[in-house]
Structure 1
Amino acid sequence: MKTKTAQANFAESKMNEISLLNRANVFEAGLFSWGIPEETARALTQHHSELSYTSGKLIFSQGSPADIVLWVVKGVVREVCPNPNGTQTLVRLATAGDILGLADKLNDTGQWVRRFEAWAAGPCVIAIVTRDHVRNLLKAMNPEELLTLSEKMNSAAAEWVQYYATFLGLSYRERIEMVLAELGRKFGIADGDGILLTFEPTHSDLAEMIGSSRPVVGRVLTELAEDGEIGRRERKYVLLHGGAIEAAVKGVPCGSNGHVPPSIQPAAASRRNIPLQRQHRWGR
């Protein structure tokens, strides 16, 4: 049985493991899935600059020029939408391979500007390439390849619309279940008790992501813990075996095993097996 210290060290090593790989490969794999030729994708990933940001650092602000394309090489980035009433919405937590600024727009003068803000959730490395470089690479693609890319981009945009249209019709509990499942896909590692989230979202993060308040998030998380869906260990969430959220991450039917590991607190004897819809991978 691993000690708590060993478990924490193991989680930390898994968080850093992918940083030992060629992070460009993660980004390239996403480009291939969009139908971009291998030669074009390699040219894009091999000719870029990298910038490092400390935790809490602003990467770009809403309305700032969007003359460069960015993707996350290492770390986690909070992509935020400032609202007119002074609040903000956490659009997503971007990690290795995710592109930042997919929702950029043209302003009245024809200049590309940022719709959202991006902040470093911790120390991170961002790769940048100019839009002119991207434009020149796209010019080299043949019409069939450009058509495939256009279709994939249209499909991805429609998927985002469907996601949020569905999201708005759910209860706060169902929204948190969906968010935790998505975090499990992006930040989860296999664990003896279920799926351990190597990145811990704060209550404020979750409140912004579901359009609610921290007290509501606290009550829902307590309910999920009592139902045996989630647990806590070393300040990290665990999506417990047999729960609906873990099943959603794995894409398998949910079935309770009636057991809550003693290493997870608070423990519970009952579960509510509420089916969760499989959702798209945000920007992955």
Structure 2
Amino acid sequence: MLRHDTGGFAASSPPEGFDLKDFEEAGLRVVERRFEPKDLIFAPGDPDDQLYFLLSGVVRLYKIYGDYKEATTALLKDRGIFGKLSLVEGRWQDVFAEAVTEARVAAIQKAAIEQVIKTKPDFALKLFSSLSERLRQSDEVIESLLHREVSTRLATLLLNLGERFGREEGGRLVIEVRMTHQDLANMIASTREAVSKVMSEFQREGLIETRNRRIALLNREALAERAAGPTGLV
């Protein structure tokens, strides 16, 4: 799992060695689906009868709390496994899964997985280890978001996005996923106005620059100091 040590936003990937081939070798049938940016893969109230494996692209998981604020709990890129841990039938989704870019997703029926788990303990251990770690991080992410200043949360988010989706270019780290200030606000449970104010501060201080909705990190050390800032009210 990739996660910046300042806390906050988490970017998730599967544990070492876990791949789609594990499902196929276990005899599980997978169904591939394609999504465009902003398409919802599932939402609260949808049947919770499948697990999902990200074949390509970027997907984010988020919850809505309080006054309809969004909190991103995980951002997955290529090979991330997601969905609820429970294999009990009759449950419903309680989070949103949204494609950030064009994405290919494989879906596997939980009923079939349950049968395999009964006969293949090694497969079961890998699967539950992967999902339980992501769920643990999700809870920690939401808790940390609620008690940190916007500037601290935003600096943490930018560092994580740079670590996960950045490309070195002329001494800068360019985040290759295009995002608006509203997108950033949704990821840290804040408002567009608050994020725009802090982004302007970061630019004046020479920490970042933005062009065509692409953000470049210019001073990661200074951003890390901001990410480790004091907690406080939004």
TM-score, normalized by the shorter chain, greater than 0.5: yes
Partner of 1:18: none
* Structure 2 residue aligned with 1:76: 58
Q: Which residue of 1 aligns with 2:111?
A: 132
List gaps (5 residues or longer) in structure 2. 1-11, 230-234
Q: How far did residue 149 of structure 1 move?
A: 6.2
The residue aligned with 2:8 is none
Aligned residues: 218
Q: Could you list the runs of 5+ residues in structure 1 that have no partner in the other structure?
A: 1-26, 249-272, 278-284
CA contact 1:50–1:125 (8 Å) conserved in 2:
yes
C-alpha distance in 2 between matches for 1:38 and 1:105: 19
The residue that corresponds to 1:114 in the other structure is 93
Q: Do residues 208 (structure 1) and 186 (structure 2) align?
A: yes
**More strand per residue:** 2
- The one-letter code matched in structure 2 to 1:74 is S
Measure the CA separation in 1 of the matches of 2:59 and 2:131: 22
AA in 2 matched with 1:191: E
Rounded Cα–Cα distance in structure 1 between residues aligned with 2:124 and 2:80: 21
2:32 corresponds in structure 1 to 50
> Hey, what does 2:76 align to over in structure 1?
94
* Match among 189, 192, 205 for residue 227 of structure 1: 205
Indicate the percent of aligned positions where both proteins have the same amino acid. 22
Aligned to 1:185: 163
Bigger fraction of residues in helix = 1
The answer to whether the 8 A contact 1:193-1:241 is kept is no
- Are 1:141 and 2:120 counterparts? yes
Q: Name the CA shift for 1:60/1:155 in 2 (closer, same or farther; >3 Å).
A: closer
Mapped partners of 1:121, 1:148: distance in 2: 27
On the 8 A contact 2:87/2:111 being kept in 1, the answer is no
Q: What secondary structure, in the 3-state scheme, does the structure 2 residue paired with 1:73 have?
A: strand
Question: 1: distance between equivalents of 2:60 and 2:153?
Answer: 18
Closer, same or farther: CA 214–45 of 1 in aligned 2, 3 Å: farther
* 1:241 shift after superposition: 4.3
Counterpart CA distance in 2 for 1:140 and 1:162 is 33
> Offset of 1:210 from its aligned partner?
1.9
Counterpart code for 2:63: C
Rounded Cα–Cα distance in structure 2 between residues aligned with 1:99 and 1:113: 18
Q: C-alpha deviations, 1:189-231, integer Å up to 9, x for none?
A: 2222221100022211221222221111001011111222211
Which is greater in Rg?
A: 1
Deviation at 1:63, TM superposition (A): 1.0
Matches of 2:37 and 2:20 in 1, distance apart? 34
Provide TM-score, normalisation by structure 2. Answer: 0.75
Q: Would the alpha carbon gap of residues 74 and 156 (structure 1) be closer, same or farther in structure 2, given more than 3 Å must change?
A: closer
Matched letter for residue 61 of structure 1:
A
Distance 2:152 2:96 in 1: 26
Deviation at 1:86, TM superposition (A): 4.4
Contact 1:32 1:38 in 2 (8 A): no
Instruction: Give distance in 2, aligned partners of 1:157 and 1:189.
Output: 28
Kept in 2, the 8 Å contact 1:40–1:137? The answer is no
Partner amino acid, structure 2, of 1:133: A
Q: Quick one: higher RCO (CA 8 Å, sep 6+), 1 or 2?
A: 2
Q: Does 1:161 align with 2:139?
A: yes
